[in-house]
Chains A and B, each alone.
Chain A
Amino acid sequence: MTLTVSDLRVRYGRGFLLPVRWLFDPFILVGVYLVLVSIVLNKPGEAPGLSIACTVVPFQLVTAAVANAMITIAVRGPIITNMNFRRTLIPLSSVFTESASFVASFTVIVTMMVVYGVGPTVALVWLILLVPLTVILATAFAYPAAIFGVWFIELRSFGQSFVRILFFLGPGLVPLSQTSSRASDLLKLNPLTGLFEAYRNVFLYGQSPAAWQLLIPLAFSIVLLSAIVPLYNHEQRELAKLLG
């Protein structure tokens, strides 16, 4: 909590412009992708703005958590080299920091629902599971990102690009139903696919997410965290040496 509060102030500053900073990225991204899908690719589908918002919002948390986690060790250098504390929680605090803007970015989805005249349904109850699942998946990405940012300082931008690629190698721009069945099967291997489709089901189609849409991201997160957290715990003992 303390790490997150300080991180929020350091990363986003303070003042009345704070919500604007949180909402700027998701609104811009939805706008750009909407132009791409509707005009350039001519594959608008159903309520394209809302469909894209359903993927941009959860993806923003994942990508922002990765970006934050990759630099979080360096940013916290003054504390890491000065005192002993529970460094295991540093990547987690990156996720919590970005969760504030994640929650704020639901405004984009609500705006799109109003624009397309899509009313809320009882399926919104699934957000009770979907939001924590998004945070868990972002955490699963944040731990390897923190190690990657320490091991390969000069390759941080590639780490960011890798996550961005996952957006496009999933149903980020068009729903899974608009892809071929063969592509659809392959895209399901991407942990973001289930998440994106689950958000579309809840907000756009007003129906419950399919089990695979929740289980694949969850299983991916558990496997990744089980493998990476022990490695991170080993590496965190030596972080201060890297920071000088």
Chain B
Amino acid sequence: MIVATDAGVRFFFDRHRRVVTSTAARVRRGCSTSWGIRNVNFAIGSEGVALLGPSGSGKTSLLRLIAGVYVADEGTLTANGRIATLLSTQAGLFSLLTGRENALHLGVLAGLSRRQARAALEEVKRVSDLGDYFERPVGSYSLGMRARLGLAVANQISPQILVLDEVHEALDHQFRNYLEEQVHEIIKAGGAVVAAGHDHPMLARLCTRAIHLDHGRVVADGRFEDVRREYLASVGG
């Protein structure tokens, strides 16, 4: 379902250490490069996989690569199936738009027709449990409410691959249970879930396997509990 072969993502920096594109780096002097992830190899089937590692280890880069937000600069990464993403608590939401408007907007961008996205709005409202807030600008939402809306929209496209980056950590307990149910449904239907975060008990509920990343490279890959123990030992936890 998701196969990475020597996958790498490279970043270019100008002399002020701001990220620039590869083309801009070619025409500017004093640019440097750094690999966000490199030589990453794995195959993910129908399962839940957690990405573990300290901040800056490449978890977000890898999730964005899986989501198609980044393109591999080296090697390949293929992900077959409808992908839903929650890569930040912003979840692609515009603060000035209402929950309803954001849900319609994101639904269409995620691949639904305008008609399908419109038809799904009441279900998004029900699932997100936002009540009257659904008609208010997202700028007035808490992080948890944004995550709930993002997750409810993601659910509408019936994802085969769900990619989560710490967003689940902003959810309240009731919604964590909902997320857990969704994750298990996706996996039961033959899909995959990849999640990164620092809330290990929560990740343990979603994932049976873990990949430990350090400095952009895979240092361990196996059963969640084994890799978690190895990771914590490596950071002195």
Residues of A within 8 A of B (CB): 1-3, 5-6, 9-10, 13, 78-85, 150-151, 231, 234-235, 237-242, 244
- What is the CB-to-nearest-CB distance from A97 to chain B, in angstroms, rounded to a whole number? 13
Which residues from A are CB-within-8-Å of B92? 78-79, 82-83
Interface flag for B94 (CB, 8 Å)? yes
User: Can you list, as one digit per residue, whether each of B106-131 has a CB less than 8 Å from chain A (1) or not (0)?
Assistant: 10111000100000000000000000
- Looking at B14-22, B38-46, B174-182, B206-214, the stretch in contact with chain A turns out to be B14-22
Q: How far is the CA of A150 from the CA of B114 in the complex (A)?
A: 30
Which residues from A are CB-within-8-Å of B96? 9-10, 13
- What is the CB-to-nearest-CB distance from B72 to chain A, in angstroms, rounded to a whole number? 10
A1 touches B114 (CB 8 A): yes
- What is the CB-to-nearest-CB distance from B104 to chain A, in angstroms, rounded to a whole number? 7
A151 touches B20 (CB 8 A): yes
- What is the CB-to-nearest-CB distance from B98 to chain A, in angstroms, rounded to a whole number? 9
Which residues from B are CB-within-8-Å of A237? 71
Within 8 Å by CB of A81, from B11, B20, B88, lies B88
State the main secondary structure of chain A at its contact with B. helix
- What is the CB-to-nearest-CB distance from B69 to chain A, in angstroms, rounded to a whole number? 5
Q: How far is the CA of A9 from the CA of B93 in the complex (A)?
A: 13
Q: How far is the CA of A231 from the CA of B26 in the complex (A)?
A: 13
Q: A78-B93, A78-B94, A82-B86 are in contact. Are A150 and B21 (CB under 8 A)?
A: yes
B108 touches A81 (CB 8 A): no
A81 touches B69 (CB 8 A): yes
State the main secondary structure of chain B at its contact with A. mixed
Q: A82-B88, A84-B67, A151-B24 are in contact. Are A241 and B11 (CB under 8 A)?
A: yes
Within 8 Å by CB of A2, from B70, B85, B90, B109, lies B109
User: Can you list, as one digit per residue, whether each of B1-39 has a CB less than 8 Å from chain A (1) or not (0)?
Assistant: 000000001010000000111111000000000000000
B114 touches A6 (CB 8 A): no
- What is the CB-to-nearest-CB distance from A232 to chain B, in angstroms, rounded to a whole number? 10
B109 touches A83 (CB 8 A): yes
Within 8 Å by CB of B105, from A6, A80, A231, A240, lies A6
Interface flag for B218 (CB, 8 Å)? no
Which residues from A are CB-within-8-Å of B22? 238
B20 touches A242 (CB 8 A): yes
Q: How far is the CA of A6 from the CA of B101 in the complex (A)?
A: 8
User: Can you list, as one digit per residue, whether each of B62-76 has a CB less than 8 Å from chain A (1) or not (0)?
Assistant: 001001111100000
Interface flag for B183 (CB, 8 Å)? no
3 pairs of A and B residues whose beta carbons are closest in the complex: A84-B68, A82-B92, A2-B108
Q: For A77, give the chain B residue with the smallest CB separation.
A: B90
Which residues from B are CB-within-8-Å of A238? 21-22, 71
Q: How far is the CA of A6 from the CA of B106 in the complex (A)?
A: 10
Interface flag for B149 (CB, 8 Å)? no
Which residues from A are CB-within-8-Å of B88? 78, 81-82
Interface flag for B204 (CB, 8 Å)? no
Q: For A6, give the chain B residue with the smallest CB separation.
A: B105
Q: How far is the CA of A33 from the CA of B219 in the complex (A)?
A: 67
Which residues from B are CB-within-8-Å of A9? 94, 96-97, 101
Q: How far is the CA of A85 from the CA of B83 in the complex (A)?
A: 11
B19 touches A240 (CB 8 A): no
Within 8 Å by CB of B21, from A3, A6, A82, A151, lies A151
Q: How far is the CA of A234 from the CA of B97 in the complex (A)?
A: 30
Within 8 Å by CB of B69, from A2, A3, A13, A84, lies A84
Jot down 30 A-B pairs with beta carbons below 8 A, ordered by A: A2-B105, A2-B108, A5-B105, A6-B105, A9-B97, A9-B101, A10-B94, A10-B96, A13-B96, A78-B88, A79-B92, A80-B69, A81-B69, A81-B88, A82-B86, A82-B90, A83-B109, A84-B85, A151-B24, A234-B23, A237-B71, A238-B21, A238-B22, A238-B71, A239-B21, A241-B11, A241-B70, A242-B19, A242-B20, A244-B19
